[in-house]
Amino acid sequence: MSSTVNKLIKNLGDDIVINGDNMDRATSYWDSRPATAIALARPKTTAQVSEILRICHENNQPVVTQAGMTNCVGSANAQPEEVILSLERINKIENIDTTGSTATVGAGVILQTLQEACIEKSMLFPLDLGARGSCTVGGNVATNAGGINVLRYGMARNLVLGMEVVLADGTILSSMNQMLKNNAAYDLKQLFIGSEGTLGVITRLVVKLSPKSSTVNCALVGLNTFENVIALLQKSQRELTGSLSAFEVMWGDHFRAVTKAHNSDTGHRAPMAREYNYYILLQTEGGDESYDTDRFMRLLEDCFEQDMIVDAVIPKSETERIALWDIREDFEAVLEPKPLFLYDISLPIVDMDKYITEVKSALKTKWHKVEFYVLGHIADGNLHFFIRPNDSTLSDKVAHLDSDKIVYSHLKNYNGSVSAEHGIGMEKRDWLSYSRTEAELSLMKTLKRTLDPKAILNRGRVLGNL
């Protein structure tokens, strides 16, 4: 046992700090192999986080921050020489203020737990993504998560009013602002949103809420051209102004992969024909049932008349609506067999069709049996890919690198981003220069050296080793 771990246990107790040999913890949500680290610290308060970081800073001990462990890019995967700092116990919903439309929460609060607590008070925390049952609000903010409601409510960055964060040396920076407008000099919380734990450890948050909508309208529609996908998006944004909350696109291959083929036991029941090139889930939320429903149905009728859409399914119950969303959010049918490579990128909507065609062609040239599945939030420019090379002659590492080269080299031509919402972590750090200039990267490194001069926080993530 290292002297640093001994000191952590002495100062905080063995209830808070567990020696690495006694951990019972998976590497991540996606990797069930046992995690390796010299210790696991599970503080219950910001003060305890401060003490842990103070000791680690004094002893040049690297720390990796964890919460829901659903990160997809290796930001939270522990290295053998690190101390795991888990925020899972800082999980109290301190207050839901229905008058000021805010919630004060610990960073370890599960996203779905906060959503449900807000609904009980007729309020809405609008950040929403498929991992809602496992991911935490602090992790969402640290990665600037997006999800299905970005179109209407914005990303995590748009939903944070106040923050408490612990710096690398243990300094507590508390700015638990509850006001929508606060223009008193620098907005320091923005430094830590999306920084993936490399600049400080977020422990508490004040987030914005919205009134819960009383009406929901939803439809799954089938289309055959990307021109019609864009046309439907523009028409929906124009004619459903103020109520359009989601516009999710699944390319045909993805829809077919996650729905049942004839006589198949796997996948979701297909609510419509499986032959279309594109499938879109659109959803509105409002407060006037008659007006909202009439407006929604009028849009769909117009789109049929204009040959914009060729098929549509409208759920008749909440159960049916959830079943439609399960098709969009459940990836189990495409996750096996491995290796499978996941990407989240963004680029201008007008370039998406051409980019996808180029990437698909390049993948087919590289691997004749490749599987390529595409879906996305496209209204905010975000696409997700699943790529399975199906080439047993290559190691997973080599295949992953070849896949990265194809995805990112074509993306660079469109000035896109290598990460739309999952972050950079370890997986994408070598590609960050494709989306950021040398001047931007230089300033980022200056910030890192200033706030974490010993580079103990999430060492090697995002910017690599400085």
| Secondary structure class of 207 (helix, strand, coil) | strand
Q: Residues of 221-239 as b/e, b for ≥16 C-beta within 10 angstroms?
A: bbbbebebbebbbebbeee
Q: Which two tokens stand for residue 211?
A: 């009134």
Residue 195 belongs to some domain of the structure: yes
**121: its two tokens:** 């008070």
Specify the pLDDT at position 315: 96
Q: What does the DSSP 8-state code read for residue 82?
A: P
Helices (H) and strands (E) in the chain, counts: 14, 20
458 is a domain residue:
no
Q: What 3 state SS string does 156-178 have?
A: HHHHEEEEEEECCCCCEEEECCC
Residue 440 in domain: no
Alpha-carbon span 235 to 239, nearest angstrom: 6
Judge if 290 and 310 occupy the same domain: yes
Where residue 84 falls (left for φ over 0; alpha for ψ -120 to 50; beta otherwise) is: beta
Count Cα atoms within 13 angstroms, Cβ side, for 327. Answer: 29
Instruction: Look up the CATH number of the domain holding residue 43.
Output: 3.30.43.10
Residues 6+ apart with CB under 8 A from 108: 67, 86, 87, 88, 89, 90, 91, 136, 138
- For residues 178 and 70, state if they share a domain: no
pLDDT at position 442, please? 96
19 domain-assigned: yes
Q: Is residue 428 included in any domain, yes or no?
A: yes
| Residue at a domain's end among 280, 299, 332 | 332
- DSSP secondary structure letters along 16-79: TEEEGGG---EEETTEEEEP--SEEE--SSHHHHHHHHHHHHHTT--EEEESS---SSSSSPPP
Q: Quick one: which of 433, 460, 431, 458 has its CA closest to 196?
A: 458
Confidence (pLDDT) at 23? 86
Calpha distance 449→444 (Å, rounded): 9
User: 246 with 305, same domain?
Assistant: yes
114 and 70 together in one domain: no
CB within 8 Å of 334: residues ≥ 6 apart: 254, 257, 258, 340, 371, 373, 386, 388
Pull the structure tokens for residue 374: 């595409």
pLDDT tens digits in sequence order for the chain, 466 residues long: 689 999 999 999 999 999 988 888 888 888 888 889 999 999 999 999 999 999 999 999 999 999 888 888 888 999 999 999 999 999 999 999 999 999 999 999 999 999 999 999 999 999 998 889 999 999 999 999 988 888 899 999 999 999 999 999 999 999 999 888 888 899 999 999 999 999 999 999 999 999 999 999 999 999 999 999 999 999 999 999 889 999 999 999 999 999 976 556 667 889 999 999 999 999 999 989 999 999 999 999 999 999 999 999 999 999 999 999 999 988 777 888 889 999 999 999 999 999 999 999 999 999 999 999 999 988 888 999 999 999 989 899 999 999 999 999 999 999 999 998 889 999 999 999 999 999 999 999 999 999 999 999 999 999 988 7
What is the spatial distance between Cα 28 and Cα 420, in angstroms, rounded to a whole number? 21
Asked if 70 and 62 touch (Cβ cutoff 8 Å), the reply is: no
- pTM of the shown model: 0.92
Is the residue at 38 inside a domain?
Answer: yes
Same domain? For 175 and 98 the reply is: yes
- Give the pair of three-digit tokens for residue 453: 């001069």
- The secondary element (H helix, E strand) that includes residue 221 is strand 215-223
Residues 54 and 97 in one domain: no
| 283, 219: one domain | yes
- Supply the CATH number for residue 158's domain: 3.30.465.10
Name the helix (H) or strand (E) containing 203.
strand 201-208
**Residue 47 has what pLDDT?**
98
Q: Strands, E, within 357-462: which ranges?
A: 371-376, 382-388
Let me know whether 139 and 198 are in one domain.
Answer: yes
- 277 φ, ψ (degrees, to nearest 5): -80, -30
pLDDT of residue 330: 84
CATH code for the domain of 407: 3.30.70.2740
At which of 59, 86, 113 does a domain end?
86
Task: Examine residue 443 and state whether it is found in any structural domain, yes or no.
Answer: no
Tokens of 143: 């990665």
- The CATH number assigned to the domain holding 315 equals 3.30.70.2190
Indicate if 202 and 151 belong to the same structural domain.
yes
Number of domains in the chain: 4
Alpha carbon 228 to its chain's center: 27
Angstrom distance (rounded) from CA 353 to CA 372 = 14
- 33 within a domain of the structure (yes/no): yes
322 lies in the same domain as 345:
no
Which range marks the domain in which residue 310 is found? 215-332
Domain boundary among 34, 53, 86: 86
What are the residues facing 385 on neighbouring strands? Answer: 343, 374
Are residues 409 and 346 both part of a single domain?
Answer: yes
CA 49 – CA 66 distance, rounded (Å): 12
Is the same domain home to 380 and 412? yes
- Note whether 378 and 234 are within 8 A (CB): no
